[in-house]
Amino acid sequence: MATANLLAPPSNIAPPAALALSQKAPLILSNPPTSSLPWPLSLLFSRETPESWAIHENLFLSALRTGDEESAAQLLSRLASRFGEHNERIVTLRGIYNEATAQTPASLEKVFEGYEKILREDPTNISIRKRRVAVLKSLGRTSDAVTALTVLLQNSPTDVEAWAEASELYASQAAWGQAIYCAEEVLLFAPTSWSAHAHVATLHSLSASSTSPPSLSGLSLALKHFCRAVELNEGYLRAFYGVKIVASKLLPLLSDTQVSSRKRGEQDDEDVPVPTLASVQKLDEIATKKLGEFIRDFGSRKKGQSGYDEAEIVAAKELLSR
Amino acid sequence: MAFFGTVLNTIGALFLTHAIYSAHEHTTAFANTPLPLDITLELLVGVIILSTGIVISADKLKPIQYAKWAGQISQEGRHGEGKYTREGEEILSEGDPYAFLGLDGGIGGKGEGRRGFFDVKGKRKEYDEWVRGKQ
């Protein structure tokens, strides 16, 4: 079953899936992939594959989230004996273990100080820097997390994962301008990523809707990026959903022709082409048709056979019945 | 279809081997006469059957258009192809190559987030609440 696969865990692990994943611990723990024989023989009798360690790491994380600390400790010691105590990744995993087992905020602060110590010894340890941001975030100190993240990004500006994190952190603070900037950096590194385009579009649409009346240029940009996501992935439900939402916001603005012609004159210097009423209507129709197709397709497949979440389909149905 | 392909491959390989053996025997026995027609025909038939078998038993082609390929991933999701690792985990078909960006959950969504910034405390709390809600 696809929901409890340790090699490729789903992109959203709900608690029941996490439980199913961590219940595989006894099986994995009883079969060590490395051999216990002395050196030359251990090479011959080792049964490890690259996948074994990915499975161990994923199992470690799901054991921690379900509170199975014993299994997690065993998995960690197995990983440490294979890759060495000072391996950057093992140090990070140990940090995650300490974070998870920290009961009070004070002990979490201690873990945080441990990270500072590691960074004093080796300031280039990027994954520990990321852990620091994660701890600050879970302590609720979002502005400190943003500062730590900007330092990280100054030192390593090609880290696309960190740009994505920065974008979401800013978005959680409703700092739309900064969030859009970071998301556009992500687009520079991953221009063919449909989810990154949909993310930028969502940010534009949220930032445009935060002003009243909604800004026409923001909505146009949102529509543009959602259309790009559709262009990259013709089965992307989220993008079609976004096209429909943005179009429903744009249509009343554009149908007020007087406003739109005036706005269009203003927008020229900002270089955001505003779509015409007819093309937005057409896009709306296409999105409606496609969403209907996805819903029918989901209904005709067996459970677990479709790539879409049930929640996505329910949301699309609700949007169409409005 | 895979079985049919294997049968064709076996027959084709047999024909081909037999044709080559015959050709070899013929040239050693009668060095200066041309190759008889039946050996040539057998060779050609063997090659054609073998090629057909190889084409039939090949994997299904992937879409070469990016949008179609990505659409297939989104629509069908990841599914097993009958191969397992030693630990008993099924090896799934390819998924979204940009899933590591963690941008698919939406703003403030309940996704897994990015691996480097794994929020172990938050996930643990979510799980604890679920367990308490069930009791």
d(CA A190, CA A161): 11
Q: Do A11 and B78 touch (CB under 8 A)?
A: no
Number of H helices, E strands in chain A: 17, 0
Q: Do A64 and B100 touch (CB under 8 A)?
A: no
Q: CB distance from A141 to chain B under 8 Å? A: no
Which residues span the domain enclosing A122?
83-174
d(CA A5, CA A49): 17
ipTM of the complex as predicted: 0.83
How many residues does the structure list for chain A? 322
Query: From the CA atom positions of chain A, what is the Rg in Å?
Result: 24
Q: Do A161 and B86 touch (CB under 8 A)?
A: no
pLDDT at position A304: 66
Q: Is residue A182 assigned to a domain?
A: no
Q: Which of A148, A174, A200 is the last residue of a domain?
A: A174
Which residues of chain B neighbour A64 with C-beta distances below 8 Å? 120, 124
Residue A134 CB burial class (10 angstroms; 0-12, 13-18, ≥19): buried
Contact map slice: A 27-86 vs B, CB within 8 A: 27-28, 31, 33, 47, 49, 51-52, 55, 61, 64-67
The number of distinct structural domains making up chain A is: 2
Q: CB distance from A13 to chain B under 8 Å? A: yes
pLDDT in tens, chain A (322 residues): 445 788 888 777 888 888 888 888 888 888 888 777 777 887 777 788 888 899 999 999 999 999 999 999 999 999 998 898 989 999 999 999 999 998 888 888 899 999 999 999 988 889 999 999 999 988 888 999 999 999 999 999 999 999 999 999 999 988 999 999 999 999 999 999 999 999 999 999 999 988 877 888 889 999 999 999 999 999 999 999 999 999 999 988 888 755 555 555 555 545 678 888 899 999 999 999 999 999 998 888 877 677 888 888 898 999 988 8
Q: Which of A110, A139, A174 is the last residue of a domain?
A: A174
Q: Sign of dihedral through CA atoms B18, B19, B20, B26?
A: positive
Out of A55, A195, A206, the one facing B96 most closely (by C-beta) is A195
Nearest CA in chain A to B129: A15
For chain B, domain boundaries? 2-56, 65-95, 98-135
SS3 B84: strand
Q: Is residue A59 assigned to a domain?
A: no
Which residues of chain A neighbour B66 with C-beta distances below 8 Å? 192, 232
Supply the DSSP symbol for B90. E
Q: Please report, as a single letter, which amino acid is at residue A66.
A: T
Instruction: Based on the fold, state whether residues A197 and A318 are members of the same structural domain.
Output: yes
Instruction: Based on the fold, state whether residues A229 and A291 are members of the same structural domain.
Output: yes
Q: Is residue A76 assigned to a domain?
A: no
Out of A15, A167, A206, the one facing B127 most closely (by C-beta) is A15
Residue A66 near residue A18, CB atoms below 8 Å: yes
Instruction: Based on the fold, state whether residues A320 and A205 are members of the same structural domain.
Output: yes
CATH of the domain at A91: 1.25.40.10
Instruction: Based on the fold, state whether residues A222 and A296 are members of the same structural domain.
Output: yes
Using omega within 30 degrees of 0 as the cis cutoff, is the peptide bond preceding A38 cis? no
Å from A37 to nearest chain B CA?
20
